[in-house]
Every structure is written in C-alpha cells, then in structure tokens.
Amino acid sequence: MPTQLQIAPTLAEFFGVRLNPKPQARPIEQILKYFRSHDHDPQVLGFVVIDSLDSQFYSEFADELKTIHGLAEQDERDELDELDELDELGGLLLECETVSSHTTPAVASILTGLPPEAHGILTSKDEGKSGVRSVLE
C-alpha cells in the first residue's frame, strides 16, 4: 500500500516541480502511468482529504458521500492499484498508509513528502512555522 509520503513526490515528478528538501519516498508509478497515458495535461487537480475518513468508513458510507464518490468511483473488483478503475471524470480513489494520527502533520506530510519530524509540523499550533516548502509552493 502506498504511503502519504509518496503523494508529493508523485505530483512533483508529473508537474516538474522540485521539492526541497528532496523526500526519500518514491513516486507512485501507477498514478504517473495513468497521468502520462492521457492525451492532455490536467487543467485542474482536485485533492480531497477528509479528517477521520478511512477507507472502510468511506466504503460503508459511499452512498451518503455521492459527490466525492462520483469523482472517484471504483469498479466492483475493489483493487485500488488497477488503472481501469478510473471513472469517466478521471477520478482516482487511493488508499494510503498514514504517517500520523493527527490531521495537521498528516496533511503537511502529504504536501511535502516528508515525515512530521522532518517538516516540523507536529500539531496545529505549528502551522505556518515550517521552513519546508510544499509541492504547492
């Protein structure tokens, strides 16, 4: 299973962004393969993180989460690493291993590719205090 630390390196490689410091985590190859298999670059990239919504809870309540589920609908095989599970909108649902049980450091890790001890955001009080740039910057 991919980890949250692999998301920033994946986006950085596809969009040609240099992360500094460079994360040790490797990009997620199946996502890069999907991105590169399309005729055009995406104009918009939506990234949704919902606090405390693990994959089991998501699966159980997918009907109530129709808007999000519509963006990342899976087929019945339920194997997340298959590229043909992408719907017509081009959405992808990816289950990743978390690096923190707290939202703020986990999101910082998603955007930097670094573990909390490396980016320095350990609680919500640390927001804006890290000198590490994210993939969005």
Q: pLDDT digits over 62-79, tens only?
A: 788 877 777 665 433 344
Q: pLDDT digits over 71-113, tens only?
A: 665 433 344 444 444 444 456 677 888 899 898 999 999 999 9
pTM of the model as a whole: 0.76
pLDDT of res. 62: 78
* Alpha-carbon gap, residue 129 to 105, rounded angstroms: 12
* Alpha-carbon gap, residue 30 to 115, rounded angstroms: 22
Nearest 10 degrees: Cα torsion 47, 103, 106, 8: 20
Amino acid at 35: F
pLDDT of res. 90: 54
Token code pair at residue 5: 């630390």
- Asked whether 40 and 20 are in contact (CB, 8 A), the reply is no
Q: pLDDT digits over 22-39, tens only?
A: 999 999 998 888 778 766
